[in-house]
Structure 1
Amino acid sequence: MLLRTGIRPNILRVYWKVTHRVPLSEQRGQIRNSMPMYPSPTSVPSMRHNSKMAAGRELLSARLTKAIERRDLNQAQTIYKEIIKSNGAIDRICISSLLELAATTTDSHNIMFIKDVIRDMKSIFSFPPEPHQYNMLIHALCLHNKSNEAYQVFQRMRAKGLSPNVYSFNTLLGHYKRLNDVDKAIQLVNEMKQNGIARDASTYNIIFHLLLRNDMIEEAHDFWQQMTYERISPDVYTYSILFRIVNKTGDIEMGEDLYKTILNQAQKKLAVNVDTVLVNELLLFKGSVSQDLSGMLDLYAKSSILFPRVKLDTVSYNILLDTCLKLNNPTKAYKIYKEMVDVGLSPDEVTYGTIIDAEVRMGDIDGAIQIFKEMCTKGIMPTERIVTRLSNATAYKHNDASSVQCVFDIVKKLNASIGLTLDVKAYNALLSGLSKDGSSEQAQELFEEIFVQKGHVPDIVTYTNLIVSYINDQRIDEAMEIYYDIRKRHSIHHKSHISLDVNLYTILISSLTNAPATKDTSSPSYTSDTIIDYQVFNADDLNSLDNSSHPNLLAALTLFNDMRQLRIQPNAYCYTAILHACGQHKDMYVLEQVHKLMKMDLYFDPDTAVYNALMDAYSRSGEGETVLQIWETLIMSSSPTTSIDATTISIVLDSCGHNGLGHLAKDIWKRLRDNEFALNSNNFNSYIECLCRSTRSRRGFDIARRVAKNEMMPPLSPHLQPMIHSRRSKPEYTSRNAMQPRIEEKTINTLISFGKKKGIPEIEIASLEAWKTELFG
């Protein structure tokens, strides 16, 4: 039979191997080596048929490879099925590539395809799967959030005699990181150690990142010690994540150790794959954590030598600029900014914001505006913080609205040209800048253009800034009209975005009480609709006034009453602000009303600062008896929040002196001295002035001079002070009580002034002048 067909036995073996899935490349080689040089005529048809089949299988294999290279999974799956149907062959490398392609897709149906291919590897292609193929299955399961099933693959591998490797664990560990499942991640890392799986740098990088995200710093330190003990070399990502931990926690000791390690390796030209991200973390550590400006700048200067492959980016320069600014070196920040531009890097919004801050700190507002113009011209959207900083700086530094108006004009032009728009907070910042010096017309123009014409929705901050601009422009009636408008909306529309709160009233009352006197001193017109009777005052009271009350105070009092109506609790600042203004304007009417409100306020407990403001207001208004009544209440109080302080003492003594109650000051002073109250120089100055005012004769003056000479310590000589601090020696006049305050030049000037008014002989005045020269030069 063999002789009749002309086919040798080794050719039959090749045919048998083809039917048993011998790889095509091997089949082709065996057939080529076994074919007779001159086959018999009867063997040619059969050989041609088999050759066509082999060529077809080889073509399918080539098509599959091409489909995988094109990342066309659908076509690759179709060709794979044709290969199975035609009894074709695929090598291990091709199968691994196919599994890698299937594992990275988002279609969950491909998980079943991966399982089928892994099963086919042994049953059809006669080579068992390896851990790499199972890792692809684990990756696919994790990609579709099937972590429990992915963990079960580990058990399946062990059942087949395969041990999951470090890549198997790292794949599942990475999935736990994406889920932010710290407990399972730590459990899996510990399982690696129990099963003898050598952990690598990637393992620790994943767990470090997860622990940092959850602020588990101590656990991160523990794993770092394990990594060091296992002698696992950190890679660039390890160092980066470790420095992120250092920079977040401020662990200078750990940071310095890591910093020295990296620099030593770089100087010795060891294999440290440092990248820009790591260099940025190093700069941040030296600048923000260690606050070592010189060290940071030294690293910046040597970075091209230490890390020749690293190029600093915009983030690098932003760190440098921000640190220079925080460490009060704006000049250096501006120089680094120039270097950044010179190397061809484009500044971003962070860069511009920082350099604008630097210009402001250097006092160059025009330069800051120029940088702002450059930023907007390049199409970089200015943030709310930048506009706020620039607007406030221009208002405070220039003390006019021209610079703020300039910023607003730039924003308007860019809005028209490139559609640049700011958010409400940024426009509020511009309004705030205009309100500082009372540029009400410009503020109103901005409000109408942005919030009326452009359709931006104003919030309570918008209206607050607008009202303040009118207050500071001494246009109280118009300011109150705007306030009444938003109050009406607050009352009618409870769900309105405009909600009056204590911050609004605090700012408005502060502005009213700090604003200069208005040009029109007539009282503003109030109606019964604007004043609500709360058994304190009413509209008729205000309308019947004889123009003695200051318009600003009446407006502030109206706001106070509205707060009660709206059940908005005034804070201590509201009370002290209006009380201070009452004292400045000597307005007894408003002062008495505020005092009544304070007594009726069941939810407000005045502290010492509020009582001091109340006493000072009454003292300036000529009501010394009322001051003494409040004083007696305070010294009898056992509450720590209302205990008297040095300011209280000076106020009551000043009140006695200015309001003809100097004879009572001696009793107050004696009580303080008997109770060993710690008196300061201001208290002595107030008492000495009070004594001088207490009598028309020189008797009070003589007592005041004795107090200054006998109860106050001389000033410390300037040339003795460094000696005392360096030698730790005792100060001069050790026989005197060290708690006694030192005399001031103001004290002697007070004595000289009153001595001249009382006609004290020139020889005594000259003696006081000589004494002052002796003490103060």
Structure 2
Amino acid sequence: MSFGRAASQLERLAIAVYPASRNARQNWVSLLSHRKTCTRSLSLSSHSVSSDRFHNGQRVPDKKLAVVHAQIHNALNSLDGSSTQQCPLEEGQVFRILDILASSARPQDLALIEKILENFSSLCGLSVVAEVHSHIIRGLLQHGNPQTLLNWLIQMRQKPGNVQPYLQHWHMFLEHCADMGHANMIQAAMPKMAYSGCPPNNRTFKILFKAMFNSGATLNDFTRAFDTIEQYTFWYDKDVANMLYSGFVKLNRLSQAKQIKKEFNQRFRNRAIKESPRLLEWEEDLALEVERHGLVSAIDLCKVLQKSGYNVHHRTLSILLRRSHHISDLEFAKTSLDLQASPSHWSIIITNAIRAGDLATALSSYAHFRSTGLPLSAPLLQPLISALCASAFRDNDDKPIDHALELYDELARAFPSSSPNAALHRGDPGFVRERSTGPDAYMYGTLLRAMGTSVDVQKYSGVAVLLLAEMEARAIPLQSPIILSSLIVIAMRCSSGVDEALEAYRRLARRHNAPRITARCYQWILNTLSQLNFGEDGSPPSIWHYFEIVKDMRLSGQAVTPAIYAQLLKRLAQLAPDAPEDMKHSLAACVRRVHDHLTLDPTITPDTLLWNQLMDSYQRVGLFAEAYRVWEILLVSENFDHASVSIILDACGFANAWPLAQRVYSRLTERSFLLNQGNWDAYVECMCRVGKLNDAVKLVCLEMGKDQKDVAPHKDTIRLLLTFATRSNQQDEVLSRIQRYLPDLWEELPAELGEFVIKPEHIMTTSQ
């Protein structure tokens, strides 16, 4: 099948799945009317309200933060890398510092926390364990922004120490959300809990119900919450039933109290515990033992509990393996407790290996699983397919997609479309979603999304057609936002021009009965549109086309996030460096128009990342004055970060604005803001660009790294100095001063600096 035919057939088949009513009128949203956008000056006062919206929760006094900053930076600077060095801080001091920095939760303070974690053992002689994160989480709770805390929990595994969040950590966060009435935040966090290896339990759902009462949830809200709970491990608890009943009684809604209790009993009475009433307590003890002390200790505890009446079973093995990602753990647990492993236990091992970033081990475990003769299922293969597709995107390589399609084919052959495949398979109750045993909508969405981001989208257009036909044969409705957005992206990338791409979006997204596109899917579609390039000139993306889709996004009820603006600004900035002069003027006008949209959008709350991107885009298209005004906004609002500093210093350098660069540096010094390595390099480059080479060399030799050992001059710093020195034939003098003041670094200069480096004896002669 040719590429053109495949793309056309894909679009026709996708539209066919959404049959439009014959009598329905197709109401297309017209293109945003073209208008001339006057050059708008960015005044500080016009953004004062937006700047104030950065702050959430209580503010830590600046003096208190300044003391803590000085204390921790002095401690970090005192480290010399020696294993025998005495630790500069005591345990209580470092925990107090973490508490204060977390309570502030400014971007620079969160970055400093990670710096502390990187050097934790040297600072206080301790390892980064779960209790360390408990201190940070308590501080973030004081700050009061639930999204910041949720981000920390999600990213804990990637932070120094590689600590997975405990169930206790999650419940600290959820209790805070419940007190604030953030029931939606709790429901959004539950899948992330399960993915982190801490599936929600009965206590989690009690917290959810507490939050729902605090937020004024309706009876229908509670019944919808029951739908969510059914996907997880939940044992019938009459205390929960009484909690629901009494909650509505307190609201003087007696009839609804009776109704909710009846609904709860009907839904969950079949999950009543028929064993010892202490079963939940025993299993929570086992889960905690696995988290704190590992598999061997948990198995020992299990044997102790057996003497008290605990009977090991299928679920016991799931609890014991919740942190394991090697087959050896599975074999050891099976043998120790005389249990048989099911596909769901293998799935736990494979999924944990993927979470640990070890895809090779996961694939090896799957190969071993296939040799056991146990049956395949979607919950077992989905983590592997997802990981392979993610790898393809990360490495910009389509081979993992081909491997994922091979795994899909294995499952499709095991469950042909003619076989009964609609029955849901719950498997281990700890799974996040109810899943079919064979290919399902979630798996098709994963594969189609990977094809949408593939390197060679033409290669997969025909495959996408076949997958859609498979879905139709299996009677899987095309109601997934991921699937719809994937088809839109594939169709847009297969288009021959930007107008055709927008028309493909309209036909697919605005069909009758089309699923509602999510905010993340809109972001993907918009990013794809901004990246389309149908000519060799790298023309700027169409602002009007872009904001037509943004308008659809807003009309659909989705919040337009800062990332929607930031990704378009980033694309404009990427096109600027190599653009001819006339195109650069067009790019500058585009950046101004995007800023106009941002200024006039009352629904948007800009974050530091968005302001940074706006500042960078302005400076790259040659509008330095506008870039500097954005910097003033960030400075006054105290929400700049290290990236902000590097951007404005670069801008000053390219604009030959040395007095303003000096002002930036002095105002940062007044705030006791310590530059990082990138900031120092940006400042050095700025000095070189404005003709201050001698001052730059003096700064590198005498000041850089004087009070911060982690930002000492390095090879790239010297390379930067020499690049500018050769323009004025001053490399001999620069090298002489480097040899005199930085002898250790001089010895490490690499061979690739040979075009700059001259003979040492000549340097010494020159310097004398």
TM-score, structure 2 as length reference: 0.50
Larger RCO (CA under 8 A, 6+ residues apart): 2
TM-score, structure 1 as length reference: 0.49
